[in-house]
Amino acid sequence: MNQPPLNHEAEPQGGDDRFVWLTCRYLDDVLVEDEFIELDAMLSSDGELTRRFTRLCLQARLMSEPLADRIRWLIDTDRSATLTKPQTTGVRWTLWRSAIAAMLVFAGAVGLIVAMNLAGHRADVAPQPMANVATIPIATITGANDVDWLSDPLNLGEDVSPRVLSIGAGTLDIQLFSGVAMTIIGPAQVDLRQPMHVRIDRGTLYASVSHSAIGFTVESPGCRVIDRGTVFAITVDAAGATTQVSVIEGSVDAMALDAGGRIVDTRRLSVGTTCRVSRESQQIAIDEVTPQKQYSRHVMYLRPTAYWPMNQPDASAMRDVIGQRPTVNHAEAHFEATGPFNAAYRFDGKPKGIDTGIGQLLPELADFTITLWLRTSQQSQGHLVSDNWGFAGRANFYIEDGLLKWFIGSEPQVHLDSPGPVADDRWHMAGLTRRDGLFTLYIDGQIVGSLDSDETIAPAKSTWVLGGSPTGHHAYTGWLTQTAVFDRALSADQINALYKLAPEPSEHFDPTPASQSSRSNSKQEIKT
């Protein structure tokens, strides 16, 4: 730069220096409301400024720790898959300005980041990319479930360089080295371009973005989404004609693009908001959804194997919305407009519950997840999800003594109990996962217990029941809603994100975790 440095006490009043000054105050998290509105207006009206803003956020993260640590993924091809969350520290804007200029010199030298002049002059020569950038790992495969690979297959734990991933079915979990956890749901095609930039041409992408990765960008045909530190989902139809963006937590900026990739419309989306971006019309349509629709939409993004929203007014016609499998309402459960999603089924303790018609709802040894919402004051044993017909290996998720419990009738028996009561006549979200033999119990989005066990859930000898057991014993009294089963273990972040979708989440459950790390030899009998 040929211009002398600005006086660090002076506040720039306009031009490029004003943009950089506002950006640096944003990075230091000290923007006041008027400044935030001013910066937002700049970004909304100028696509080039938006791209520069994204680059500056990336550069700031690289400088927030020793440079060698932050770019280790560039120089260490044997990088460990263990990720650490970057920590940011505040500095004066003039220091950011000088450091950013220095970083740009470095970036130009290695060809990683587009060089630019913060004093307002464009570079005369476009920077050249490094020859081996395409071989540098930018992510790790952290999970895969029933993936039908259409592109070259990848293995669990494998580090991944920039490439196009194409799957015909299944779910793929990816951890980008920038701090973004993604789940890709097939059929899908996703182009991993950089740690801060991916493109999706079809399918669903679910992203949980850490604070260190603010500015993470996802593109699709006719759409660009820039994250502001959030959890969001993007679905692109098979033709690439429409992109749907749903914000689960935080906020994002959604942009409609013309055929040349120029921004023609921009909207800030906050939590609970969904929009559709049409590639043909180049317009953004906002869909303000109800909490019930938002929750159901998010559950569907996670691809359950069975799902009962329990929102049909005629409970006798309830079906699993995934397989459209009919149920039999033995319990005479009935619909009530109540609960966090204004829709639930009330069970009055009548026997046999609601027969799901599904024989193998949970796998014998593989991973799974159960999530549901309940409200009860029941102290006696009441089954929520059960295949208990008295045989060895029977299993049930149930209430007893006011506690939430999980049981497998093996030898030895498996017991996992909540540390405190949930039968307090208030709404709670309950969850259970099994991942590699570790059962984890959740209440209101928090881990409250865990248990290591390799005991097997027996192959189905009856169909699974909601709100009771196949024998007719241990009927449930209370409300149930939004019951879902997944054929993989959802992460703690995914379960917590579901919980936070409730408009009035519970805050009364004791968050103190209880840890149980051994099998129980208890002779407690589950009566049949």
- HEC assignment per residue over 383-399: EEEECCCCCCCCEEEEE
Q: Where in the sequence of the chain do the CATH 2.60.120.1440 domains occur?
A: 137-288
CATH of 301-500 among 3.40.640.10, 3.90.550.10, 2.60.120.200, 2.60.120.620: 2.60.120.200
Q: Where in the sequence of the chain do the CATH 2.60.120.200 domains occur?
A: 301-500
Q: How confident is the model at residue 36 (pLDDT cuts 50, 70, 90)?
A: confident
> Mind listing the pLDDT tens digit for each residue in 305-328?
999 999 999 988 888 888 778 899
Q: From 211, 239, 210, 244, select the one nearest 225 (Cα to Cα).
A: 244
Q: How confident is the model at residue 302 (pLDDT cuts 50, 70, 90)?
A: confident
Radius of gyration of the chain (CA): 26
The pLDDT value given to residue 416: 96
Please give the average per-residue pLDDT across 270-274, as a whole number.
85
The pLDDT value given to residue 342: 92
For the cut 60, the answer to whether the pLDDT of residue 525 exceeds it is: no
Note the Cα 252 to chain centre separation in Å: 14
Task: Check residue 261 and report its DSSP letter.
Answer: S
The pLDDT value given to residue 164: 97
> Mind listing the pLDDT tens digit for each residue in 63-120?
444 333 333 334 333 333 333 333 333 333 433 443 444 444 444 434 443 333 333 3
Q: How far apart are the first and last CA of the chain?
A: 81
The structure tokens 């070259």 sit at 152
Q: Residue 289's CB: how many other CB atoms inside 10 A?
A: 15
- Please provide the average confidence, as pLDDT, over all residues in the chain: 80
The pLDDT value given to residue 126: 44
| Six-digit token string for 151 | 């592109």
| Spatial separation of the C-alpha atoms in residues 472 and 465, rounded to whole Å | 10
137-288 classified as CATH 2.60.120.1440: yes
Q: From 186, 136, 183, 137, select the one nearest 158 (Cα to Cα).
A: 137
Global confidence as pTM: 0.57
Higher pLDDT, 8 or 402: 402
> Mind listing the pLDDT tens digit for each residue in 130-160?
445 567 899 999 988 779 999 999 999 999 9
The pLDDT value given to residue 134: 64
Q: β-strand 403-408 against 395-400: which pairing, if any?
A: antiparallel
